[in-house]
Amino acid sequence: MSSENESHRLATRILWGLVAGIVLGIITVGTGRFFPGVLSAAQNASEHVLNPFGQVFLRLLFFVVIPLVFASLALGIVQLGNIAKLGPLAGRTAGFFFMNMAIGVFLGLIMMNILNPGGSLDADTQEKLKSEFVGQAQNVEEVRKNQAKLNFNTLVEMFMPRNLMQSVVNFQILPLILFAILLGAAGTQMAEARRQRFEEFLSIVTELMTKIVRFALLLAPYAVPALIFSAIVRVGLDFLLSLMFFVLACVLIMVIHLFGTMSVWLKLFTKRSPIQFFRSIRAVLITAFSTSSSNATLPTSLQVSREVIGVSNSTSGFVLPLGATMNMSGTALYEGCVVLFIAQVYGIDLSIGSQVTLLLLTVFSAIAVAGIPGGSLPLIAGLLISFNIPAEGLALILGVDRLLDMARTTVNVGADVVTATIVDEKLKPAT
């Protein structure tokens, strides 16, 4: 398919951009040791040209945050309400999806707390990062104080301010998330014809916003090297090490979730050997890895589940399309990791209470993520804002996002096929 080829080409160009940005950054910092003029010229160029250019990419994503969070979350909830009406098979499938996403985020948060990839930066680099990337966002000290004050009162204030519109204007996402959930729940109570119209309206808004994300991604092959080069020449090589540590930590957690958690389910609910199982679905995993899109992988996962695994047509036809839009355990896991990493980089301590809230929000927001490359980026921006972490911090991980998108999509889709198999063999109500 031509759009798949285009997506491949785009991914290759982004990855080459990443390599070029890193190599040029390292060369510039190295040369700067002998010729300081070179480094300061590069820093100037980053400040006045490259970073603002990278910001255009980021701002395109920020543009869509409010309408996308609102529409896609409400849509997810309306659809969930419908699924629940479909009976026990649907309810169990959705329950399994939720549990997998929650376990994925839980693993991610635990590992990020233990490995602390963002905490290894020295105080000097941390200061530079704050001043370079926080920009016009709020000052980090204030943010730190706000994080510490989480109690029942502040929770009510955070989620239910007196004026929803004002909170939207101030880019506070939590009230919007709650409002979208309420609206979706209310939508499920409407008469069928009106509910369908409401669902269609929400899906049109979601589709439009997703198209803007695609526009933004067209800039990615240029924005990624610009941002990563800027970060290296302005903050130094320590940051690069932290970023590499973050990438390795994310990949490790994703591998544990895909081949660990899923193997436990396979052993527990089916008589299949996990190794054999993953071997037989490797075409699905490779397609997900190379397209970074759950949607684009759907035809392959349907075919392999039916013809290789032997999942019935009815179960695969129901679970897999639903999973491609809803079951994003790799994405949920990744969202939690990014929020924690950027908080660590800025020296912002997220309390246990905040991390539990983060777990719930990542699961909900992952349901709202479109199964396309980079689908989660605007929602991650929304999550950062929800936790008072400057969303500009997203610039720090954009360079490596595509790489991790390949990995998280593989987890998303792998978990879909495992769920379809288990539902087919164990959870299907007896007829």
Contact between residue 375 and residue 213 where contact means Cβ atoms under 8 Å apart:
yes
Residue 366 Cβ vs ligand ASP, minimum distance, rounded to whole Å: 8
Residue 79 Cβ vs ligand ASP, minimum distance, rounded to whole Å: 17
Closer residue to ligand ASP in complex, CB, 128/408: 408
Residue 375 Cβ vs ligand ASP, minimum distance, rounded to whole Å: 4
Residue 235 Cβ vs ligand ASP, minimum distance, rounded to whole Å: 26
Closer residue to ligand ASP in complex, CB, 126/206: 206
Closer residue to ligand ASP in complex, CB, 18/39: 18
Residue 404 Cβ vs ligand ASP, minimum distance, rounded to whole Å: 9
Closer residue to ligand ASP in complex, CB, 42/366: 366
Pick from 219, 301, 237, 246: which is nearest to 27 by CA?
237
Residues that bind ligand ASP (CB under 6 A): 292-294, 328, 331, 369, 371-376, 405, 408-409, 412
Pick from 9, 49, 42: which is nearest to 24 by CA?
42
Report the distance separating Cα 40 and Cα 65, nearest Å: 35
Residue 291 Cβ vs ligand ASP, minimum distance, rounded to whole Å: 8
Residue 214 Cβ vs ligand ASP, minimum distance, rounded to whole Å: 12
Closer residue to ligand ASP in complex, CB, 120/203: 203
Q: How far is CA 61 from CA 57, 316, 409, in A?
A: 7, 33, 20
Residue 58 Cβ vs ligand ASP, minimum distance, rounded to whole Å: 15
Closer residue to ligand ASP in complex, CB, 174/217: 217
Residue 372 Cβ vs ligand ASP, minimum distance, rounded to whole Å: 5
Q: How far is CA 332 from CA 210, 253, 318, 355, 392, in A?
A: 18, 12, 22, 13, 20
Closer residue to ligand ASP in complex, CB, 261/409: 409
Closer residue to ligand ASP in complex, CB, 376/386: 376
Report the distance separating Cα 128 and Cα 172, nearest Å: 26
Pick from 105, 147, 179, 127: which is nearest to 338 by CA?
105
Query: For residue 255, how many C-alpha atoms fall within 13 Å in the half-sphere facing its CB?
Result: 6
The total number of residues shown for the chain amounts to: 431
Closer residue to ligand ASP in complex, CB, 46/287: 287
